[in-house]
Structure formats: structure tokens, C-alpha cells
Structure 1
């Protein structure tokens, strides 16, 4: 850039500038800052009124190495003078004024301004408008536009509470407000949205929330007309669903899985998504779980029904595995108590069998969960008391009573203990009376035994020892009967010893005098039966001997008729029937032998004709001989002989009459030894003729 003529060059004061590299571009004059002296105020140096310090600090002295080198050209005299310095300072503003009239500068400024303005406008367009802080607004002084803005913000959240809050913000505008119509429109719109959200909340299972939201709708909007109807519908549906659910739960508690599942299916008909899905799935899950628990409980019951300590303990373990949250838990607890009671009953059964250790073992294994802890304690006391009473003496029974009396009236087995006490007291009375009766019976006479029976008979039937007393009375009664009947039976033995028919009959009559039910009745009856048998044998033996004589003589008919005169029930009846059966077999064999001989004789007569028909008839007649007959082998030989004749006739006839030969050969029976050969010949002849 060229300088204007007459403008002196600006040089720094006080020192000469460093020599510059000629290759570097020179700084434009417009960008050079004027050089002022250190002592010159800042307001004068910059040409503006700037605040100055009260005292200017001198610059630090330069280091020796940094001292500027003096310029080779000295300033003119006028510039070194004070007036020259002021002239130099006035040339700087003129240079800036010259730049202000340069068109390149204004072109650059215009471009930068246009781009900056565009960027600022774009930033303003893209920047989100500032949202009002609605929670911090004091609404009584808020403007309508601000209410509308905050109401729209709240409604955009699409929740019942926010929509109702939005309605409350704009619904408070007066009726004559210019925005009242818009407010009414939005209130109607948002009220419908609240009702829809309430319906959605109802289907989501939030009944109370849905009712509360619906009932907050303003009575001034049209949606309010269906609020109560909608609420009643929701409540009706909900009540129906709850009733179905409760019924299903009751069925589960009653272990009725089919009815519970039937109730669950009814939930699918409820007009509510929450009950159709969530609650239905929840209920079916409970049903399946309860059914599994029910199967477990059923298995426990089956084990308990089988009985035995091991099965009962396993049944309690299975029932105990059912969780407390299960609907079957209550039934399982009840079953555990039942199983415990069965264990108590098992212990009592062992006590009845006088197995004390087994009973105590069962009682010790009854778990606390059976809720029988106190009963088990009482049962243990009673078990020991019963074992003491088994010794069957008055002191031992009194000790058993003392142990049972330790069970107080507040204990669970108090009543049972009192029953044992009453029983044992009665037993003591019976033992005392029975012991007295035994003392009376010791002499063994009829009178003594009778007195003992009278004493023992004073024990009543209600006494627990009554059966024992009766057995003792029966023993003494038998002794009395034996004393009374023994002479009668001894006399019968003496009579029967003679051995003749009259003596045996008299002895049997003597023994039969002892009546049924007496002590010696069975013995007398047995002896009488023996003597009567001997009498019958003496009477029937001649008949049996005569029948055997007829049989030996070959007169089987007379032998059978004679033996059958011995009647049933007599001593020789079995022997006579055995002989009769044998003789009838022999007689039948004889008859068959005669028939076989007759059949074989008839067959030979038929075969004498020699004709095929005669031979065939002879074979049929011989075949009637029974297989058990001694003549059967002779009949078979004859059949084979006649079959050979038939085959020979057939072969001779085959020369001129094949069909006739086949007919003759077919008469040979299958029993014949030539049957296979005859069949082969028949097949050959058939092949020859093409049949």
C-alpha cells in the first residue's frame, strides 16, 4: 500500500526497530497499533475516555541482552520535539478514516453480517421454546393463556390425574371469557379421555382407581351422564368375578378339583381383561398346584389305611410336605392329626396284646405336628399303669390305679384314665371273691365245689373279670359232673368187657345215659359208638360172608343183592359197598365179553360171503368190540384180514372197472393196517382216469 504524499512515516520513539526479514510481508498500516509512551495515559493513547490508575508504574528495566539497538536513521528534528510528537499522534485517526471509505472493508462486513444473521435465525428456529414452570405458578394471578399452556402440558401426559388437573386449570375461567368456548371443548375432550383411561384401569384390575377417576369427572360435561352407569357396571362385573373366584377357592379347600376348574372356566366369560387373563391364570395355577398336593395327600391316606408304624410315619411325612400356602394345607393338618390318632390306636392295640415296649416305641415316634403331645404323655403314663396291672395281683393293680390317678382332670386322657381306674377297682373286687371261691373249692368234694361256684357267681356280668370267673365256674362244674358220671361210665366198661352181643348192647345203653353237655359226655359217646359198632359187626358179618361166598361161586348177582342188605351207617357198610362196587365191575366186564363175542361171531358170518359188501359189513360188526375187551385184538386182526381181501378184490376189479375198484378200496376203514396202502392205490387209479 502507498502512503499519501505529505504523510510522514511513523517510527517508534526511544529505540530503533529490529531489522525485518525482507521475505515476510509487511503489516498493513491499518493493523498497526500506534505506539505511545509509557507515561502517556491510556485514554489519550486509545482515543477513548477510559479510567486511568492514579499512579502509573514504570516499566521494568530491560535486561542488558534485551536492550534495543539504536536505529541507523535518526528522527527528524520536528518529530523529536513535543510539537512533532503531537502531529504524529493526529495522523493515526486519519488512517482509520481512510479505511472506513474502502469498499472492500464494507463488502467483508456485509458478508459477515449476512452469514451471522442467517445463523442466528436458524438457531432461533431450531431452539425449543421455553416451557413455563407450571408447579411454581400462583394460579389466582395467572393469565388464561398460561393456564391453557399448563393444561395442555398436563393433558399430554395421558394420565387420569393429569387430565383432571388440566380440566381444573381451564374450567375455572368465567363464562364471559373469550376462551370459554375453547375451554369447554377441551374439558369435554379430556373428560372423555379420563373415562377411557378409567375403563382401561378397570380392565387392568384397578377398580378403585377407575371408580375414583370416573367420579371426578365434572357434572357439566356430557361424559358425566354415563359415569354412574359405568361404575355400576364395573362393580357388578367385579362382584361377579370375585364370587366365582371365592367359589373356586372353596372347592379347592374341599378338594373338589373338577368344580374348582369349572369355576375357573367361568372367569373367561367375565367382561374384564384382568379377570380373564391374570386372575384366570392365577387360579388355574392354584388348581394345578392344589391338585398335586391333593394327590400327595391321597397317597398319604392310602398308606395310613394300610396300617403299620412305617406306613403311618410315611403318611405323616407326605402330609407335612404340603406347604402352608396350599389350599390343601388345612386338610393336610387335619389328616396329620388323624394319622397321629391312628398311631395312638396302634399303641393301644399293642398294649392290649401286652406289648409294652412296642407301644412305647410307637408313642415316642408321634411327631409334635400331630398336636398330640399332651395325649402322648398321658398315654405313656397309662401304658406303664396297664403293664403294672398285667401282674394280676391286688397290690400291682392298686399301683396301676395310683399311676392313673396322677392324670389330672385338665389332661386330655383324664376320662380314659378314670375308666381304667373304675375297671381296675372292679377287677380287685373280682380277684378277691375269686380267691375266696378257690379256697372253698380246695377240698374237691361236690359240696365244696358247689359252694365255690356259689361264691364266684356273686361277681356280676358287668365286671371285667367275668369271663375269667365263668371259666373257673365251668371248671368246677365239670369236676362235679365228672364225680357224678364217672361211676356210670365205669359200670358200662365192666359190662362191655364180657364181649357178647347182649353185653355190648347193655354197655352202650349204659353209656348213653350221660346227657349231652356233661363233662364226660364225649367220652361216653365215643365208647358207646365203639360198642354199638361191635354189635353191628356181629349182626352184619354173616351177611357179608354169605355175599362173598356167592361171588366166589360166580353168582355175582346174588352176592350184590346179599351185601346190599347191610344198611348205611352200620359198621360194615363201607366194606360191603366196596365189595359191591368190585362185583358190579366184574359183572359189567362179563356182559361186555359176551357182547364182544357175539359181535365177532356176527362179523365172521358176514365175511363168509366173500363179497365186498359182506366184507365191509363184517368189518363194521367187528369194530363194535369195545377197546377194553379182551377180544379187541382178535377183532383188529380180523379187520386187517378182511381189509386185505377187499384190497385184493379192488386191484382185480381195477383192470376193467376203475371206479368200481375205487369204491371197493374206500370200504377199508382207517383203523386197518392197510388203510394207507389202499389210499395210495385209490390216488393212482384216480390219476389214471383223470378224476
Structure 2
């Protein structure tokens, strides 16, 4: 601008102004000719000087020169200031107008375009800098403004690089590369721009890869791996990835780790599926931020757990627990998509709890009608935009149908309240008009069953009352008449159980009246000592009668007395034989007392004691022989016989009981041949012809007393026991199996010993 102003000072107008200023010193001498001052007068030479008259006074000439000097000075000063002012005014009126950059065009002078570009570039806007560079980048070196344009180009290129670097630091790679790409090739910073763009792209790609890997590690909850990727981003030569995104990533790792921890804790609590635990779980997941990767799962869990709360609330409502249902439904958080549904559930629950359950017990129809009307009014508060609007409308329709049934049942209840048979029947007919598909069908059937029961009770009660009156006398005929009357209450009637109970009681009384004389007679005969006749009399009381157990108790007692009387001589005889040292005979005699008889266990105790004594004597006197050597020809095998347990009815001695005087002859076929000998557990019988050889195992002396186990009963000969012959003998400490209940009266005598071998010294036969 200064150059342009300097150039315009060279215009013709400016030259005229300067020439006028150069002429101003000539004006003084011109005017001095008419009134020359003394100081300006030229000194004449001596040759040309005219003679001065002496009569002219000199003092008169000095004042005239001073009058012309001061005006000339003031006039010069005035002319100088006036010329300056005139020149300035002329310069002002001749200054060119300012350039309008808005109307600049490609046809405008380069100077004006350069000035406009410089003004626009001063704003440091990218588009203005790009326009300026586009203007000057192609100017040749011969251009008058080339030097100034080159300086502007370098400044603008550097500004573009700075702006591009700022964009890159802000994470805008695309804009940074686009801005840096506007640097012209003839700019000194063009190579730097290309290098920076390549570096930015390389670091951006690395940073993006590391960042994506870190994000994937975060999604899979690999916190250490994500942190390692984040630390690698610091090494990048890029502030955006190394500082900004690195810091954001570390914060995200911490936040995600905390969010996943909260989600895991919440899921652990939710597994218990209780309202309190679900509420705590929802409270935890609600703290998870929406920008977290765990938020998506947390949001789904919120919906799932909210649905679980509503299910629990519905279950409580079915149990008629209104407060519990509402309390659970209110725990659904506002963040859940089911929050509106929970609010509707609370409203519908309050309405539904007013209506009694159709499957519940007896109700008052009038009160139920009022409750249904209140429930309908509450359900109508839900508008069409609410989530449970359809459910509310369905309930309103159902309640309307129930209302119609309740009105009909109210009429039936009014009839049944009279309490007469006819009114009960009318009420039943009225209630049966409620069809099967109606909502109050179950309630109607309940009322019908109740009224039918009351009707049948009113019909059967006279039979029961009359039967009780007949049975009051207590005679057999009266009791039978009462039973006949009570049996008129047929099966399926309400009073059937009561009638059958009375019939059973009267039957028991009749049996007692019939059987008591028989039992008294049997006891009288037993006291006289005729136990057999007493048993036969008592057996007339059959099984299932009222006094049967009492009769069986007496029969068992009398049978025991008979058995003791029969078996005591045998046991005394065996004891006597044992005292004489004839232990084997004592065992055989005591074995005749069979299992189930009164003295059986006493006999078994003696048998075990005597067998132990016999085995001890034989073990001490006879040399050892192999356990396999035995004499089956001399072994005793008792015959098999059928065992009759005492629980069965006792047969009188005349028919089934064999008195001891008559010897028992075993059947021939019952005798076991020597090929299969019966070996008693104590030891097989050894004839005195050859000495007894004890088994290979040493005998344990009878210091350990023989204690037969009471829980192991004796098995009768019917189930013959044939032990393997190779089993060795066991000492008496183990269980002893006695011979059968009824052995033969006389055991076969042993073979006569040879004359050369004497009898044993102990005298045992």
C-alpha cells in the first residue's frame, strides 16, 4: 500500500504540485526589484558605481529597508505553509479508492489479488490459505511480485502444516492429510508435509490395530492383555494415540473391569431367585454405565430379572397374598422395559384380589357381587396405551360373566337357606342352570354338592335315630333290629359312615353276648383240670369274632400247660441220664421235645451243655484221626415229620396228640441209608469198637460256655439237613442244631463191640 501511495505521488498532478513548490523562492527577488531590501541588494563594483550626492541624508534610507524585510519573511512563511497544505489537499483528493476484495476477479491486477489473498490468509482459515497458495504457486520468477508472493507462499504453507498437525493431534487423520496435501510442490516444506502424512498414516494404522485388539481383549475380559496393548500405544509418535486414546483406554479398562465385576456379583445373587436377592442384583447392574460393553448383557439381565419378579408377584397373587405381590412388583426398576407393566400389574392385582377365587370354598354371593363391581371399576382405569390393557379388558369380560352367575347363585342360596328338603331341591335345580363353560361353574357345583349333602342328611337322619332308639335295650333281637334299620342308609349317602360305625358296634355287642357263655364254660372246665375239653369248647369261638383273641389267649395257655405236663418227664429223664454220665442217651431223650413246645428252649439248653461235656471227654481221651473217617452205618438219621406251629388251632390229644407211653415208630422209608448219613453238628457217633479220632483242628475246651442263640430256631426234620461230609467238626461254642421234634421212642442200639476191645473208661454208651 505504501508503494502504491509512493507510486501515485509520481502522477502528473503530483509533478505539478512539486514544480510549483520549486518556483516559490523566485517570487522574493521579483518583488524585491520593486522594493529591494537592503540585505538583498547587490554591491556595485567600483568601476560602475555612480557618485552619491552628499546632500542625501543616510538615516532616511535605513528605515525603508527594514519595512520590506519583515513582510518578506512573513510572506515566505505563509507561502511555505500554504504550499504544504495545498500539496496535502491535492494528494488527498488524488488518492486512489480502497480495493474491494469481494468483487475481485481473475481479471483483476495481480497486486490487488495478492493483497486480497494476504488479507484473507490473515484469518488462518484453511480454505483462504488454499486459495492464496493457488494464486501464487504458479507465478514465474520474472513476475514483478514474485519475491513478495514467495514469502507469502512459504508462510501459508507453514500455516497449513500447523493446522494439519493440530487436526492430527485431535484425531482427525482424514482432515490432517487433506490439509497437508494442499502444500504446493515448490514450497520448502513440501517434503516435510509428505513425510508427516506418511508418518501419520503409519502411526494411525498401528494405533488403530492396537486399540481394536485392546477392545477385543476388554470384551473377553482379558484385562492384562488389554493393558499390554494400551501400553504399546504410548510408544507411537502420535499424541492422539499415545496420550488421548491411551488415557481413555485405561479409564475404559478400569470401568469395564468394575462393570463386569458388578455383573458377576449380580448374577450370583440372582441365582437364588428370591425377591430380596433379585432386588439386590438389579441394584448392582443399574450402576453399570451405558457405554460399557457389559451394559448390553446387564440390560438383558434387567429385563429377565424383572420378569422373574413379576412371575413371583403373580404367584403370590394366586396365593391371595396381595401385599406380598404388590411389594415384589414394586421392586421392578424404572430402567427396566417392564416397569410400566409392573405398574399395571399392581393396579390389576388390587382389582383382582377383591374378587374371591372361583375355586375357593363357600362364599356369600351377595358380597362377591359387590367385590366384582369394585374390581371392574379399578380395571377400567387402564387405558389403551398401557401394556396390560388387553389383560385388563379380558378380566373385565370374565368378571361380567361371573356377575351374571353370581346373581343366579344368590337366588339359589336364598332358597337353600330355608333348610327344607323341597327348598334344597329347588336351590339345586337353580344352581344347575350355571353351565359347564361358565366361570362360576365350580362354585355352583360346590353349592350343589353342599345342598345335596344336606338334603340326603335330612332324608337319612330318621333311619339313624330310629336305629339308635332300637339298640338302647341292648338285647340281641333289639340290636339286630337296629342293624336292619341302619342298613337302610345306602352306600354313598352322607350318613353311611355313621350308620356303618353303629352297625359294627352293635355286631360286636351281639358276638359278645353270644360267645361270652362259651368262654366262661371253657374257663370253668379248665379250672376243673380238664384242659382238653376246655380247649375244644373255646375253639367254638371262630376267627373274627369279638372274643376270638381272648379265647386264643386262653387256648395257648392251656396248651402250654398240657405240653409241660407231657414233656417234663422226658426232660427229667434226660437230666437223670446225663447225671449218670450217659450223655448221648440224655441228648436223644431231650431231643424228643420239639420246636414250639413249652420246654423246647430248656431242653435245648441241656442238650448243648451235655454235648459240650461229651465232646470234651472224647477229645481228651482219644488220639487224633482225620475228620473224614466216620461210620455212616452207625449214624442216626431221625425221620422227617411235619411241623405244626402253635399259632394254628389246637387238636385234642385223642385225635392228634400221641401220649408218651406209646413209642413212636418211624416209617421205614424215612430212614436215611448209610450212603447219605445224618451228621449232627456236634459230631458223628463213633462206635466203641474203634477209638474216636478227633478232627484235625484242635478242640477248644468247654471253658467258653455254650450259649445257644435264641434267634436261630430249630428246623424240623421235614426240611432235612444234609451237611457235606467233608466239613470238619466245629466246637460247641457255635450253634447246635438239635435232632427233630419227635424222635423215635428207642434209638437203634449200637453194634456189639468185639471181645478183644474193652469199653471206654468213662462208661459212655
Q: TM-score range by the shorter chain?
A: 0.3 to 0.5
Structure with more contact order per residue of length (Cα contacts < 8 Å, sep ≥ 6): 2
More helix by share: 1
